[in-house]
Amino acid sequence: MPFVKRPFHVEKPTKAFLFIMKQFNFTQGEAQRLIAKGRILIDGESIYYTGQIIEGDIEIVYFEPKSRGVKPIFVDKNFLVFDKPSGVLVHPNTMATEYSMLDEVRTHSGQNANGTHRIDMETSGLFLASRHKNAERFLKGSFEKRTIKKSYLAWVVGELTEPFIVEESISVRKDYTSCKHKVEISKGGKSAKTEFIPLEYDAELDTTLVECKPHTGRLHQIRIHMFHVKHPILGDPIYGTSFEASDNYLDMNITEEERLIETGATRLMLHANTLLFTYGAKYFIKSRVDFREAKVEICPKDRRLFYK
Domain boundaries, the chain: 3-63, 74-145, 149-307
Summarised one tens digit per residue, pLDDT across range 160-214 is 999 999 999 999 998 888 889 999 999 999 999 999 999 999 999 999 999 999 9
Cα gap 30→292, rounded to integer Å: 43
CA-derived radius of gyration, the chain: 22
For domain 3-63, give the CATH superfamily.
RNA-binding S4 domain (3.10.290.10)
Give me the phi and psi of 43, to 5 degrees please: 55, 40
151, pLDDT greater than 60 = yes
Q: State the average pLDDT for the chain.
A: 94
pLDDT for the residue 308:
37
Q: What is the mean pLDDT of residues 93-111?
A: 92
**Nearest alpha carbon to residue 106 among 22, 18, 24, 21:** 24
Are 53 and 15 contacting, i.e. CB atoms less than 8 angstroms apart? yes
Domain 74-145 has CATH 3.40.50.11740: no
307, pLDDT greater than 60 = no
Are 219 and 182 contacting, i.e. CB atoms less than 8 angstroms apart? yes
Summarised one tens digit per residue, pLDDT across range 126-137 is 999 999 999 999
Q: What is the pTM of this model?
A: 0.89
Query: Sign (positive/negative) of CA torsion 22, 24, 29, 35?
Result: negative
Whether 120 sits among the annotated catalytic residues: the reply is: yes
Of the residues 103, 120, 206, 236, which is catalytic?
120
The band of 1, judged by pLDDT with boundaries at 50, 70 and 90, is low
Q: What is the mean pLDDT of residues 98-104?
A: 95
- Single-letter residue type at 276: L
Three-state secondary structure call for residue 79? strand
Higher-confidence position of 163 and 27: 163
306, pLDDT greater than 70 = no
The band of 305, judged by pLDDT with boundaries at 50, 70 and 90, is confident
Fold of 149-307: Pseudouridine synthase (3.30.2350)
**How does DSSP classify residue 191?**
-
Are 24 and 65 contacting, i.e. CB atoms less than 8 angstroms apart? no
Rounded to whole angstroms, what are the CA distances from 181 to 19, 111, 199, 200, 272?
47, 36, 27, 28, 21
Cα gap 261→300, rounded to integer Å: 9
